């Protein structure tokens, strides 16, 4: 009987402690955004001039950060409308380039890094987040699979145009998306974006085989 009482007491104590620990986890300490901003800015104080603007957030980034990528419906709509308006389509009206060049864009992960020289070729590094050609075994899963992307959409020109817009500025389609805004920030050239679309939509592209 004594043993049973001790065991029951220990169990009750563990439940109380577990509840207290859960309560502590459920109420994380709030951090002043100004303090965080000051700390981040200090980390970039000695960076070369072109890099000092990297931690400066625009309105879309600020909202996504403050809401942890879960903006209100009103902000969701504002972000989508604002970012969609930034998309500039090619003057010639063509959004599909060379799929072989697009394959290089998808596989290239260099450019725009501290360790890269100013003339280092830039790429989209698409395979870091997406599955694309079925024979490629190394790919990330942060983004959806793009295998058979054009084929599944019946190679519709309107869908190709939508894909160009997503590559140019994904925030105009998926607010708070993790995908870089390749066109808005001029990270990829217009031709590179056309080629990336071709990699997705050309019937001869391995993505659609």
Domains detected in the chain: 79-109+121-208 (1.10.760.10)
User: Would you say 81 and 182 are in contact if contact means Cβ atoms under 8 Å apart?
Assistant: no
What would the mean pLDDT of 69-73 be, rounded to a whole number?
96
- For the chain, give the mean pLDDT: 88
Its pTM surpasses 0.95: no
Percent residues over pLDDT 70 in the chain = 86
| Position with higher pLDDT, 28 vs 93 | 93
What would the mean pLDDT of 12-31 be, rounded to a whole number?
56
pLDDT range class, residue 27, cuts 50, 70, 90: low
Percent residues over pLDDT 90 in the chain = 69
CA 113, distance to chain mean position in Å, is 17
pLDDT, residue 39, reads: 81
96-120 as b/e: b if 16+ CB within 10 A = bbebebbbbbbbbeebeeeeeeeee
- pLDDT at 20 exceeding the cut of 80: no
pLDDT, residue 6, reads: 45
User: Would you say 206 and 103 are in contact if contact means Cβ atoms under 8 Å apart?
Assistant: yes
- pLDDT at 78 exceeding the cut of 70: yes
pLDDT, tens digit, 9 for 90 and up, residues 121-180: 999 999 999 999 999 999 999 999 999 999 999 999 999 999 999 999 999 999 999 999
Count other Cβ atoms within 10 Å, centred on residue 140: 12
Query: Would residue 69 be called left, alpha or beta, if left means φ above 0 and alpha means ψ between -120 and 50 degrees?
Result: left
List, in order, residues 6 or more apart from 184 with CB less than 8 Å away: 83, 86, 168, 169
pLDDT, tens digit, 9 for 90 and up, residues 86-130: 999 999 999 999 999 999 999 999 998 878 888 899 999 999 999
pLDDT, residue 40, reads: 80
* Measured distance CA(61)–CA(73) in Å, rounded: 16
């Amino acid at each position: 009987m004594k043993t049973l009482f001790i065991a029951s007491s220990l169990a009750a104590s563990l439940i109380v402690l577990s509840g207290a620990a859960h309560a502590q986890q459920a109420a994380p300490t709030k951090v002043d955004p100004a303090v965080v901003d000051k700390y981040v800015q200090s980390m970039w104080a000695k960076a070369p001039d072109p890099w000092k603007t990297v931690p400066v957030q625009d309105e879309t980034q600020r909202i996504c950060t403050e809401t942890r990528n879960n903006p209100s419906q009103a902000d969701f709509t504002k972000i989508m409308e604002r970012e969609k308006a930034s998309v500039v389509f090619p003057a010639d009206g063509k959004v599909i380039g060379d799929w072989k060049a697009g394959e290089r864009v998808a596989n290239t992960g260099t450019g725009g890094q501290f360790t890269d020289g100013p003339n280092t070729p830039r790429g989209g590094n698409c395979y870091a987040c997406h599955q694309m050609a079925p024979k490629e075994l190394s790919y990330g899963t942060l983004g959806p699979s793009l295998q058979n992307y054009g084929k599944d959409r019946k190679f519709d020109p309107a869908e190709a145009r939508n894909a160009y817009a997503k590559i140019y500025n994904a925030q105009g389609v998926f607010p708070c998306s993790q995908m870089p805004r390749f066109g808005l920030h001029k990270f990829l050239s217009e031709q590179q974006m056309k080629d990336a679309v071709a990699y997705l939509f050309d019937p001869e592209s391995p993505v659609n085989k």
